[in-house]
Amino acid sequence: MSLSRDGYLTVLFNQDITLPELESGPVRGRELTELKNLDVMRDVLDVTYVVNGESEPEERSELYLTVENWTANNLTIFVNFTNPILVSRGRMKDRLICRFKNP
């Protein structure tokens, strides 16, 4: 798993995985028609954003995740911070702890 400076989290798989099925036709309820409509933090990953000890609680940025690309070999997610200037301030870096749901 790697996170680029421009906010792309890339996960490489050691074997091919089965991709979520996209629905076609009329949409009812929570049917998935595009990967961008997938709620990553509800459906794919448990994400914990650990802020270093040098930031004040009111200076913390929220994050939102969007699937950019998902193939049998990898998954790319865009990590969008509401205030990126507040991320990893000081000597200690902030951390993202990610765990797949229903692997």
Per-residue confidence in pLDDT tens, the chain, 103 aa: 888 888 899 999 999 988 777 666 555 555 666 777 788 888 888 888 888 766 666 667 788 999 898 899 999 999 998 888 778 877 888 888 889 887 5
- Residue 22 near residue 32, CB atoms below 8 Å: yes
* Predicted pLDDT at 12: 92
| DSSP element (H, E) containing 97 | strand 95-100
CA distances to 47, 84, 87, 94 from 57, rounded to whole Å, are 18, 15, 12, 13
d(CA 20, CA 8): 20
